[in-house]
Chains A and B, each alone.
Chain A
């Protein structure tokens, strides 16, 4: 299924070799991460299903809990049968270990079947942030100022939609997800 989707996209849109990944895909970033279980993985291993992705850090007092509740609202409103992963990527490489991510996931009741929490090296977080246009800066006292946002990635890792108002209605992202599900004309 995925093979054929890639094949037609490659031939029609890109005229590149069959196996080529879309040039706009975040999965072109060569970074390795650890999930809450301590497993090493590449971003590209998320390929194959749509992903709602946000950057966060575990000790974040205000903005990140808002982002998580936004994502949970989104998850509850997913149409039946829709498959999407929810991915939180840490901006705080120095403090967020797999154990920290585990605690965070438990605290916010994020089921591992649909949620993936990732932490990596500072350089990798910076690369992903650069690819997304997320800006962040470590402040005095351990806080990390950052722009908020949830990004919808298609099965190939290309950003298809994003929202930065975490108090808002997630309908635009759900709409974008629905449109992605339809076969291309």
Chain B
């Protein structure tokens, strides 16, 4: 079982995540962590539900996943062959987290995800590149994860395949962080041109933990062994 769920992970070095929405707020330190090289695929998730019946399409509790959960699969335990290598989508936060836990891992925090994404950006890359993808409709059939190019750290597909769950997606848009994003609050933004970051922030803010969306997948993270 361990073999099936095995995934190569990339070490993301220590750094910090400066919340894009405010110049006046301090950067959040990010400790070194391991991040999956690729998003989790349908094939990997299929292996997971084989050993975790509670997460099969027909058995999952409604509180943990909406009715659209894994709706693109052929059956509770079968996925069309040409979708096996594609990123799994239509998975809830609860399901994504259960998968990572089964691997002895966890979901990355938003700070980790954002820092990992920024740290892997090739020099000179623009946040506008992400916008090209964001403005492209999700294809009916998502491509294999291996088609996504590696970034400077060797992580594939943080941009360009699917949106990804983070452990603390529900943190956002409460308290003063919300105020920074709404209306005139955006005047304080660190990089008002980083519209891609605004979009990710707004997208995560619109999610609920049981949502199962066709363009939302995940990958796992882990603390490096001491």
Interface residues of A (CB under 8 A from B): 22-26, 28-29, 126, 129-131, 133-137, 139, 143, 145-147
Contact = CB atoms under 8 A, between A and B. Distances in A.
Chain B interface residue number, banded = 10 to 19
B176 A130 contact: no
Contact of A130 (B61, B93, B175): B93
B209 A139 contact: no
A135 B61 contact: no
Interface in B31-54: none
Contacts of A146: 174-175
Interface in B79-138: 93-94
A135 B209 contact: no
A145 B174 contact: yes
Given A130-B93, A130-B94, A26 B63 contact: yes
* B interface secondary structure, majority: loop
Interface string B48-73: 00000000000011111000000000
A135 B173 contact: yes
B162 to A, nearest CB: 20
A135 B94 contact: no
Contacts of A22: 62
B170 interface: yes
Contact of B209 (A130, A137, A143, A147): A130
Contacts of A137: 168, 171-172, 174-175, 177
Contact of A129 (B63, B64, B170, B175): B170
A139 B176 contact: yes
A130 B62 contact: no
Contact of A25 (B60, B63, B174): B63
A145 B63 CA distance: 24
Nearest to A134: B170
B174 A136 contact: yes
A22 B175 CA distance: 33
